[in-house]
């Protein structure tokens, strides 16, 4: 006699094994970016002879554009086809990336590798976020996203540090990118063999919990409807989307421009690697606390404070010189980003109905990762027209302005944990 499957239960403790596996997989996702953070901006000038800053940052623009569009597609496909197929496909796309970086005979190959990396990140990172939201339910959403983002950006920091040391002792290629080959192979294997589908948890939540006012299932859950809602029709979601965009403009600047600023004033590759690791390292550790903190104090205060702190940190970087002051700036950028990053995604989860939540996450991540395009283009153009420090000042001003927009437009209801059990 066949026994009925056990009932689905939402919660971190109830789904700890799968949740922990997804945390580990997202660390591998972060490592795929980390292999580039220290090395690639230096590779542009020293190996490929690029002199214009706007040309150097094209790899950030290519990555951001492909990742932004893939985020949207991944969210839609996750709602229609399930989460796991999209996750596995994302790892397959990522397999050639480190080989292209190793063998690239021209900068065009580097750009192509970063297009593929953007697709890989858009599919794998988006899906690990969505699957964790599915598993834990509404009560511990901030904690869950804090753990997810901490794992990813912890791996970015550690890999940036390790690749900086490898490059300092063995050259910019091929050694630093061998790590990427291992990350991609392991991520694909774990995702295909051990990850279980979680779409049914979202369906379960939709039928057993109430929703935040304004997040009801109106029946029009098309991509266009959710895109409009998250971009301009809902003031809170629109404020979240623009904050995500500016936040990643800061990250794009830190990735493509700051290493060039450090190198221009004589810092060694090893010390540049330390600075490149320090920012995501603080970001990683901070998210272990800020996600859970937002579950208790609300999303909005942390988002506003984080955007203002990033602006202050960039101002310190732009107005100072030397490893010590830049290290302080890197720590403060990491702290500001830690306040913002998991909190923004958790706020989207609060405001979106479970039936269209994956699409809403995809829309948010579309705008958020478009920030890499903004940061890369703006940083490169301002650096070419003026200098590297002016590029840092320009993004600092955007971060402060973004925090002000959130303070004005994001409604207090977006701070409140949304769900209470239905009597079913």
pLDDT at residue 7 is higher than 80: no
CA-based nearest residue to 22, from 153, 105, 127: 127
The residue with tokens 């192509």 is: 112
CA distance 5 to 79: 23
* 8-state DSSP, 423: -
pLDDT of 378 > 90? The answer is yes
Distance from C-alpha of 323 to C-alpha of 274, rounded to nearest angstrom = 10
Rg (CA), the chain: 20
Q: What is the mean pLDDT of residues 369-385?
A: 92
Integer angstrom CA distances of residue 345 from 181, 291, 292, 326: 29, 10, 13, 29
- pLDDT digit string (tens) for 89-100? 999 999 999 999
Identify which has the larger pLDDT, 262 or 147. 262
Task: State the pLDDT at residue 193.
Answer: 96
Distance separating alpha carbons of residues 302 and 318, to the nearest angstrom: 24
For the chain, what is the mean pLDDT? 87
On the question of pLDDT at 4 being above 70, the answer is no
Give me the pLDDT at residue 277, please. 84
Determine the pLDDT at residue 414.
53
User: Quick check: 44 pLDDT over 80?
Assistant: yes
Mean pLDDT for 178-194 is 96
The pLDDT value recorded for residue 421 is 33
Q: Distances from the Cα of 400 to the Cαs of 152, 311, 316, in angstroms? A: 26, 5, 14
pLDDT for res 413: 57
Predicted local confidence at residue 219, as pLDDT: 55
The per-residue pLDDT for 188 is 97
Question: pLDDT tens digit string along 289-307?
Answer: 888 888 888 899 999 999 9
Of the ranges 42-46, 222-226, 249-253, which is most confident? 249-253
Residues 123-144, mean pLDDT to the nearest whole number: 84
Q: For 335-375, write each residue's pLDDT tens digit.
A: 999 999 889 988 988 888 877 887 888 889 889 989 989 99
Fold of 16-204+220-415: Growth Hormone; Chain: A; (1.20.1250)
Angle between helical axes of 388-409 and 357-385 (0-180°, round to 10): 150
Quote the pTM value: 0.80
DSSP assignment, residue 343?
A: H
Range from 32-36, 63-67, 307-311 that averages highest in pLDDT: 307-311
Q: What burial class does residue 1 get, using C-beta atoms within 10 Å of its C-beta: 0-12 exposed, 13-18 middle, 19+ buried?
A: exposed
Give tens-digit pLDDT for 260-294: 999 999 899 889 989 988 988 898 888 888 888 88
DSSP string, 128-169: HHHHHHHHH-STTHHHHHHHHHHHHHHHHHHHHHHHHHHHHH
Contact 379, 253 (CB under 8 A): yes
Q: How far apart are CA 144 and CA 130, in angstroms?
A: 11
DSSP 287-327: HHHHHHHHHHH-SHHHHHHHHHHHHHHHHHHHH--SHHHHH
Residue 221 predicted with pLDDT over 80: no
């Amino acid at each position: 006699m066949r026994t009925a499957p056990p009932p689905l239960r939402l919660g971190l403790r109830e789904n700890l094994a799968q949740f922990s596996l997804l945390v580990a997989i997202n660390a591998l996702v972060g490592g795929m970016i980390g292999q580039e953070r220290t090395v690639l901006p230096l590779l542009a000038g020293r190996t490929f002879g690029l002199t214009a800053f706007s040309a150097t940052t094209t790899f950030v623009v290519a990555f951001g554009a492909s990742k932004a569009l893939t985020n949207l597609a991944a969210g839609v496909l996750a709602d229609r086809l399930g989460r796991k197929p999209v996750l596995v496909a994302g790892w397959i796309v990522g397999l050639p990336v480190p080989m292209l970086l190793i063998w690239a005979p021209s900068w065009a190959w580097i750009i192509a590798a970063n297009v593929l990396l953007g697709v890989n990140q858009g599919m794998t990172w988006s899906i690990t976020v969505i699957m964790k939201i599915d598993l834990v339910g509404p009560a511990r959403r901030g904690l869950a996203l804090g753990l997810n983002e901490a794992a990813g950006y912890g791996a970015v920091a550690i890999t940036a540090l390790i690749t900086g040391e490898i490059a300092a002792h063995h050259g910019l290629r091929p050694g630093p990118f061998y790590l990427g080959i291992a990350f991609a192979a392991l991520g694909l294997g774990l995702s295909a063999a051990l990850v279980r589908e979680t779409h049914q948890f979202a369906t379960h939540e939709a039928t057993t919990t109430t929703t935040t006012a304004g997040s009801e299932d109106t029946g029009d859950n098309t991509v266009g409807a959710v895109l409009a809602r998250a971009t301009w029709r809902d003031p809170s979601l629109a404020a979240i989307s623009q904050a995500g965009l500016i936040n990643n403009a800061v990250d794009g600047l830190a990735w493509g421009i700051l290493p060039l600023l450090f190198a221009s004033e004589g810092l060694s590759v090893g010390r540049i690697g330390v600075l490149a690791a320090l920012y995501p390292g603080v970001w990683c550790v901070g998210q272990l606390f800020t996600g859970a903190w937002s579950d208790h104090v609300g999303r909005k205060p942390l988002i506003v404070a984080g955007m203002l702190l990033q602006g202050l940190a960039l101002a310190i970087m732009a107005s100072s010189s030397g490893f010590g002051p830049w290290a302080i700036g890197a720590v403060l950028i990491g702290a500001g980003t830690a306040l913002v990053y998991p909190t923004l995604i958790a706020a989207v989860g609060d405001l979106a109905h479970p039936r269209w939540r994956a699409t809403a996450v995809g829309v948010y991540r579309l705008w958020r990762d478009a920030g890499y395009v903004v940061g890369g283009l703006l940083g490169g153009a301002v650096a070419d027209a003026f200098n590297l420090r002016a590029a840092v000042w320009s993004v600092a001003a955007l971060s402060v302005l973004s925090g002000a927009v959130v303070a004005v437009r994001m409604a207090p209801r977006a701070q409140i944990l949304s769900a209470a059990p239905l009597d079913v």
